[in-house]
A and B are shown apart, each in its own frame.
Chain A
């Protein structure tokens, strides 16, 4: 089976494809094939596809180090990404940029950063340039629940609000920064109240639901463009994989991901594949296996 973009008739097909592609990358990580660190994003597929679908026209996005799911959503292919991680000249960025700072041609990605909070001020500039050019376009910036603790978050929120920038901040809240939970490193922060204090629209979404993500992101984009304001979207996600490298990362690792185990992950309540409405489980498995077959892998059970 040769896949082309027409095979992604529904967003759900792309969600399943990104899950399968991440399994392929995870197998490469297990075999230590990549000379660069790669941060997978099992469980982020619905959010990534939602973002790719919501963005339009001259919208731009700034990504964090854990950007694989988004790159796959924009590229709709894993091969050029894997070649990039291998450092090959026919990689999507000539094998020069690796994973954490990958900016692939012909995508809406302006900048990708491996430094927590570093992308926020840059996003202000991208949004500022959009405004100076008179484009009716939004700038998205993705950060994690660790990066949002940096001072640049507060600075950016105030700066973007003060200058009427259409900037949508997406907080991936997976309750994990490296290996620490939020409770282990800080007090709870009420993001709605922070946003209220600076008059910034605030939205929430469940990362396991593509529809939830797409709706929240679309609302944030609309609010940001119509109100010339930043907006914050907090997305609750479950991290199915280790911070970086393969999962499982060591013998006895509590996190277990297996390509042979099929497309679905445990716990099921956080898996975006479980919330796909327009494909049955058999169709999801069939499409998942088709992706694996395309890369010469045996079907999952």
Chain B
């Protein structure tokens, strides 16, 4: 099962027979947004709407439905298209979050599902590989779907939860076999994979595959490392999570977002403040716009050597 199939599998189950508006451009015809919209027609109580090219209005429409207590899911071909709708994701959301409780009206839900493209897939202009940047501006949750159980958990808990969020699918790995790891622990916005004798790999944004690779390298060096996958969730303290899963002898934070400020930066800050004596390593993508995610050479071998010595 590839990543996209896993998404469809869990999406169908999460929607079930609930009433929801599913909308987007060409979601039930043609390529169905490069496969994003596959199978939606089989959902019994979902209303499917193909819409024109007006992303600002798409997102505002979702916000309006949410304000009125309804549930809406917007499918978008790629994250960068949503730049046209930032006003809604920041200004409208700020106003709704403050206003809805005061007005005493129950808030519905609004979710955007989108691909994250990278250099090489759709060209340099369409390589807005930075869900953190969006989420940071609007202070809303963002989830990069990458692992079978994570996808199940996120879709089950988020699709109808009051409020707004973006679910991102890394397009570069969407047709590859989905990572299938059973979490050994989980909480709101985080999951732990494996057990650790002190070395932790904190996987941010869409670095789960690289985190798995690093863990494998460490195993080859007789070092048991656990992966902590951190969703972009306002208020999440990775330091607190790790604090309750001692020992922490060393940690590496990985983040492949393209923006200047990353979710991993926040994680590093939290950990440095909470455990200043723990050796901390940070791996992010090269500052080179001409390099796509699949072309990044992550220095995992040398890092594994260093971590194994900790």
Assembled-state Cα–Cα distance A114/B91 (Å) = 9
Task: Tell me which residues across on chain A come within 8 A of B100, comparing CB atoms.
Answer: 103
Assembled-state Cα–Cα distance A162/B49 (Å) = 11
Partner of B62 from A93, A103, A125, A163 at Cβ < 8 Å: A125
Assembled-state Cα–Cα distance A103/B105 (Å) = 10
Assembled-state Cα–Cα distance A92/B164 (Å) = 26
| Most central of A96, A104, A126 by chain B CB within 10 Å | A126
Contact between A97 and B102, CB atoms less than 8 A apart: yes
Contact between B61 and A159, CB atoms less than 8 A apart: yes
> Which partner residue on chain A sits nearest B85 by CB separation?
A121
Task: Tell me which residues across on chain A come within 8 A of B108, comparing CB atoms.
Answer: 129
> Which partner residue on chain B sits nearest A162 by CB separation?
B52
B196 interface residue, CB < 8 Å from A? Answer: no
Partner of B68 from A60, A115, A158, A163 at Cβ < 8 Å: A60
Produce 1/0 per residue, B11-30, CB < 8 A to A.
Answer: 00000000101000000000
Chain B: interface size category = 35 or more
Produce 1/0 per residue, B95-112, CB < 8 A to A.
Answer: 110111011100010000
**B5 to chain A: closest CB distance in Å?**
29
Contact between B65 and A158, CB atoms less than 8 A apart: no
Chain A: interface size category = 35 or more
Contact between A152 and B60, CB atoms less than 8 A apart: yes
Assembled-state Cα–Cα distance A151/B61 (Å) = 15
B176 interface residue, CB < 8 Å from A? Answer: no
Partner of A93 from B19, B49, B60, B103 at Cβ < 8 Å: B103
B162 interface residue, CB < 8 Å from A? Answer: no
A112 interface residue, CB < 8 Å from B? Answer: yes
Question: For chain A residues 77-132, which have a beta carbon within 8 Å of chain B?
Answer: 93-94, 96-97, 101, 103-105, 110-115, 118, 120-130, 132
Question: For chain A residues 254-298, which have a beta carbon within 8 Å of chain B?
Answer: none
Produce 1/0 per residue, B39-72, CB < 8 A to A.
Answer: 0000000010101101011111111111111101
Task: Tell me which residues across on chain A come within 8 A of B103, comparing CB atoms.
Answer: 93, 103-105
B284 interface residue, CB < 8 Å from A? Answer: no
A155 interface residue, CB < 8 Å from B? Answer: yes
Produce 1/0 per residue, B78-103, CB < 8 A to A.
Answer: 00000000011001100110111011
Task: Tell me which residues across on chain B come within 8 A of A60, comparing CB atoms.
Answer: 68
A contacts, CB < 8 Å to B: 60, 93-94, 96-97, 101, 103-105, 110-115, 118, 120-130, 132-133, 151-152, 155-156, 158-159, 162-163
9 pairs from A and B in contact (CB 8 Å cutoff): A93-B103, A115-B87, A118-B60, A122-B60, A122-B61, A122-B63, A125-B62, A125-B63, A132-B47
